[in-house]
Amino acid sequence: MHRRDVLQILAGTGIGAPALHRAISVMASRPDGLTAESLQQAEWITQIPLDETEREAILKAVNDHVRQFESLREIPLPATLGPALHFQTLAPPSNDPGVCRNARVRQRKIPCRPADDEELAFLPVTALSGLIRSRQISSLELTRLYLARLKKYSPMLRCTVTLTEELAEQQAKQADAEIQCGKYRGPLHGIPWGAKDLISVPGYPTTWGIPALRDQVLEETATVARQLEQAGAVLVAKLSLGALAMGDRWFGGMTRNPWNPRTGSSGSSAGSASATAAGLVGFSIGSETLGSITSPAKQCGVTGFRPTFGRVSRYGCMPLSWSMDKIGPICRSVEDCALVFDAIHGADPLDPTTANRPFAWPTPARCQGMKIGYQAANRNPERPRPELEILQQLGCQLVDLGPPPQFENYRALAKIIDIEGASVMDQMLRDGQTEGWNSWKNIFQSAQFISAIDYLRLQRLRSRLMQQFEDYIAPVDALVNVFEIFQTNLAGHPCVVLPREFSDARGGGKRPLPLTLTGHLNRDDQLLALAHAVQGKLTAHQQRPPLDDWLLQYEAGELDPKPAGNAEAKPEAKPDQSAKPDNQNGKPPAAKRDKK
């Protein structure tokens, strides 16, 4: 019997303390099980005396459950099977108005096709959709353009795990045929996109960024992929993520930031942000548990939108934390994010945390008179705040809210991710399939010793934090640059990140300076409207990284740091297997079932 199982049993008896429980669990996991003698040893270790009645109760409770737990472990549980308990935000229950997907581009003027393919590749969805609908370019032409760019720049950026070339050609041809016949599905019709490689697509690997699952091919289609297919979008690539949704390092190496490829793109939606910033896809989909959309969007200078928890289905996507995971778009503009969100939000019976909520784009929400909360600078209070100036120009009213409430040791609540993730990855951990897990192995091992009672205590304290943050944001319509990544992810609030400007980075390249807006639960359209208005005063999102200049340095082996000492760095292989997409020709490999 595993010691963790014993911990859960002992917690239910109400006898003793965690230290005693852990000592007993170690002994119960031995081949001879828990005996009266070993129980007395545990008392000596922990200095917690037990009377005869308590000893008998513990012995009976543990040994009676040994056989039950052993038989339960013989039942295979796929990692995607969640618990029967579901997290809910503090938002009122949905009245289920249904989903009306009728988003349209605000600007009705149809753009002209650029003469330069480089410029074409960096156009936002709002412009690309106009070019496709007016037949200035076909979906197949655009798809082949992005596939060519993926093949050219992915070895340097390490942002692509698998090209889905065969599927992309099929979907693009279908989109062109439908548009030719007058069957226009909306602004995403014919637009190539990339999926973070924790999103399941049949016929192609879904690797979760770790070597053990490099060939994992799942049968189900993730709801978000199915919804985008229904919207007419074209999947061109599965994009890299940090191992098991941590950071920017996966089995192909470190995903690079297009603005400075000597640095990583941050994570865990590393490839989604990198590919979007490099003009390798029209848009991408990422996921966030604790910063995995907003952080790489900030690092790579793109626009990322983390919706309210429960607005977008996670079915068919790798779970890390059932009560915190969120799916959202990473794009080149706020309006692109709104158009993508319109296609993917809504209730899904396969994800019981989802609900239908109203969303309209363009939204009637206006910035004039909006109250925006900010936090006055403690250092250099006289330093200009460009984001506040922009909001004032839009007619917003600024309200100094001060810092968010300092919940007692609220960072400890991030243990919720550790515990839920340890449950998801439990079988692989037991099987020793932990190669390339970054720091997850130690995190998940330590989480095994957190009792069920302590986990529920964390969730109860989370309820308190949620109410505190709701009280904090209540006086205003949104927050600007109030960095509350823990609170908003724990409470489920939506957030938009966009580039405000770029500064020179040390050692060359550019460093994006981001602007962050946080909104109220389920007022995603209001938040996007505000962010769109702010972005209308900026030009940073229209800038392009000098990829060809970086490519020359990559080919010369100059991007990676040189080793210590005077030894010259060896040129990086061009391209090596770890740096290029696993499946360059884009053909689906022979299907392999996930054995979990």
* Three-state secondary structure of 352-387: CCCCCCCCCCCCCCCCCCCEEEECCCCCCCCCCCHH
Higher pLDDT, 30 or 301: 301
User: With helix as H, strand as E and coil as C, how does 475-523 read?
Assistant: CCCEEECCCCHHHHHHHCCCEEEEEEEEEECCCCCEEEEEEEEEECCCC
What is the per-residue pLDDT for 92? Answer: 85
Nearest-angstrom CA–CA distance, 138 and 131? 8
pLDDT for 9: 53
Higher pLDDT, 25 or 444: 444
What is the DSSP secondary structure assignment for residue 442, as one 8-state letter? H
Where helices occur in 134-291 by DSSP H, the ranges are 139-157, 165-180, 223-230, 270-277
Give the residue-averaged pLDDT of 257-270.
Answer: 97
- The Cβ of residue 137 has, within 10 Å, a number of other Cβ atoms equal to 17
CA–CA gap between residue 467 and residue 438 (Å, rounded): 34
* pLDDT grade for 580, boundaries at 50, 70 and 90: very low
Q: Which amino acid is at 182?
A: G
Percentages helix, strand, coil for the chain, rounded to the nearest 5? 40, 15, 50
> Is 80 exceeded by the pLDDT of residue 428?
yes
Residue 412 maps to a domain: no
Q: What is the extent of the structural domain holding 163?
A: 117-407+455-551
Please give the model's pTM, rounded to 2 decimal places: 0.86
| pLDDT band at residue 583 under the 50/70/90 scheme | low
pLDDT digits (tens, 9 = 90+) for 534-548: 999 999 999 999 999
Which of 138, 139, 157, 126 has the alpha carbon at shortest distance from 274? 157
In a domain, 496, yes or no: yes
Place of tokens 């393919």: 117
Average pLDDT over residues 465-482: 94
Position 230: which residue type?
Answer: Q
Token digits for 495? Answer: 């957030």
Pairing of strands 303-306, 495-504: antiparallel
Residue 508 lies in a domain: yes
Residue 3 in this model has a pLDDT that exceeds 70: no
Amino acid at the residue 221: T
Q: Does some domain include residue 501?
A: yes
Q: Rg of the chain's alpha carbons, rounded to an integer?
A: 26
With contact defined as beta carbons under 8 Å apart, do 205 and 162 qualify? yes
| pLDDT at residue 70 greater than cutoff 80 | no
Residues 3 and 29: beta-carbon distance below 8 Å: yes
The torsion angle over the Cα atoms of residues 482, 269, 284 and 108, rounded to 10 degrees, is 10
DSSP H or E run through 104: none
The set of residues, in sequence order, having a beta carbon less than 8 Å from that of 474 and lying 6+ positions away, is none
- Coil, strand, or helix at residue 577? coil
Q: SS3 of 396, please?
A: coil
pLDDT of the residue at 381: 77
Residue 460: CATH number of its domain: 3.90.1300.10
Does 20 fall in a domain? no
Of the candidates 154, 354, 117, 165, the one whose C-alpha atom is nearest the C-alpha of residue 252 is 154
Residue 281 to residue 292: CA distance in whole angstroms:
19
Q: Which of 81-90, 167-176, 230-239, 277-286 has the lowest mean pLDDT?
A: 81-90
Buried b (16+ CB within 10 A) or exposed e, 439-457: ebbebbeebbebbeeebee
The total of other beta-carbon atoms located within 10 Å of residue 538's CB is 16
Residue 569's pLDDT is what?
A: 40
Q: State the average pLDDT for the chain.
A: 87
Sorting pLDDT into bands at 50, 70 and 90, what band is 570? very low
For residue 347, the model assigns a pLDDT of 96
Asked if the model's pLDDT at residue 29 lies above 70, the reply is no
pLDDT in tens, 200-210: 999 999 999 99
Q: Which helix (H) or strand (E) holds 18?
A: helix 18-28
Q: What are phi and psi of 76, to 5 degrees?
A: -70, 135
Residues catalogued as catalytic: 196, 268, 292
pLDDT of 69 reads: 62
What does the CA dihedral 443, 449, 454, 459 come to, rounded to 10 degrees?
30
Beta-bridge partner residues of 373: 399, 479
Question: What is the DSSP-derived secondary structure letter of residue 324?
Answer: T
* Helices (H), ranges, 73-138: 117-121, 125-133
Q: For residues 549-562, give the mean pLDDT.
A: 89
Whether 24 is covered by a domain: the verdict is no
Lowest-pLDDT choice from 44-58, 68-82, 364-378 = 44-58
Residue percentage of the chain with pLDDT more than 70: 82
Counting the structural domains of the chain, the total is: 1
87 domain-assigned? no
Quick check: 143 and 169 in contact, CB under 8 A? yes
pLDDT at residue 116 tops 80: yes
- C-alpha 588/C-alpha 198 separation (Å) is 17
Pairing of strands 192-196, 283-288: parallel
The more confidently predicted of residues 431 and 54 is 431
Is residue 15 in some structural domain? Answer: no
Distance CA 298, CA 263 (A): 13
Give yes or no for residue 409 having a pLDDT over 90: no
